[in-house]
């Protein structure tokens, strides 16, 4: 498994799957979730509604997979990050669950290239530095990582991009 860092909009990425930082309703919202539903079209929302009808809301740390509608990716993996409200081991573990459960779902669906946004670091206010450490560590420790060819970290804002650049370069050295 290799990792790649991109600065930009995840809705433009042609990966087998892009990950959405959703909320437990799975019915859309702002941030990256809003962008994915806007550009992907209503087929994604319909697929989310079908999942909700079957299983109810998506719990924090869990992930579900849908088609990607009009997006260049094949699938969207929707995961629900934790809302930050002060340091706690529980929140850290839930953010790690998002990455691990998304990767597990990717493997199950034969996804080889997967792109992640910086889950929870926008509207959910998770500290960016800590979130980047959790994301990179969890991806690198993923048990079945030989089944994934590439993980793309897509950073939308400068601060996240710089953090990931620094941390990924440190690992490579
Ligand atoms: N491509 C890539 N990254 C993006 C994009 C984009 N088009 N747009 C924003 N980001 P957020 P959260 C980055 O707020 O914190 C929604 O309302 C952004 O800079 O999208 O997990 C959901 O429905 C930030 O670094 O997600 C939930 O209610 C990162 O994506 C809630 O927000 C995550 O920011 C989830 O909050």
* Nearest alpha-carbon partner for 29 in 13, 44, 8: 44
Tell me the pTM.
0.98
* Tokens linked to 64: 């579900």
**Does domain 2-172 correspond to CATH entry 3.50.50.60?**
no
Q: Which of 6, 8, 21, 34 is the best mutation target for the ligand 1 pocket, counting ligand atoms within 8 Å of the beta carbon and taking the most?
A: 21
Q: Which of 22, 24, 32 is the best mutation target for the ligand 1 pocket, counting ligand atoms within 8 Å of the beta carbon and taking the most?
A: 32
Ligand 1 atom closest to the Cα of residue 154 is 2
Ligand 1 site, residue 32, Cβ cutoff 6 A: yes
Task: Let me know if 33 is a catalytic residue.
Answer: yes
Ligand 1 site, residue 119, Cβ cutoff 6 A: yes
**Alpha carbon nearest to ligand 1 atom 28, residue:** 23
Cα→Cα distances 137→19, 47, 52, Å: 17, 31, 31
Q: Where exactly are the structural domains of the chain?
A: 2-172
Question: ∠ CA 94-36-164 to the nearest 5 degrees?
Answer: 55
* Tokens linked to 83: 């809302």
Could you read off the pLDDT tens digit of each residue along the chain, which spans 173 residues? 999 999 999 999 999 999 999 999 999 999 999 999 999 999 999 999 999 999 999 999 999 999 999 999 999 999 999 999 987 899 999 999 999 999 999 999 999 999 999 999 999 999 999 999 999 999 999 999 999 999 999 999 999 999 999 999 998 87
């Amino acid at each position: 498994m290799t990792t790649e860092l991109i600065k930009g909009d995840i809705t433009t990425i042609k990966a087998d799957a892009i990950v959405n930082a959703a909320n437990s309703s799975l019915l859309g919202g702002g941030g990256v979730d809003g962008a994915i539903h806007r550009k992907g079209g209503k087929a994604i929302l319909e697929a989310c509604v079908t999942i909700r009808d079957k299983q109810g809301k998506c719990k924090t740390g869990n992930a579900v997979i849908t088609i990607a509608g009009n997006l260049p990716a094949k699938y969207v993996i929707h995961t629900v990050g934790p809302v930050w409200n002060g340091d706690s081991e529980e929140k850290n573990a839930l953010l790690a669950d998002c990455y691990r459960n998304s990767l597990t779902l990717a493997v199950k669906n034969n996804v080889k290239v997967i792109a992640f946004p910086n889950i929870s670091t926008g509207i959910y206010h998770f500290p960016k530095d800590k979130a980047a450490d959790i994301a990179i560590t969890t991806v690198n420790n993923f048990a079945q990582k030989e089944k994934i060819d590439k993980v793309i970290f897509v950073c939308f804002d400068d601060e996240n991009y710089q953090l990931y650049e620094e941390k990924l370069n440190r690992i490579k050295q």
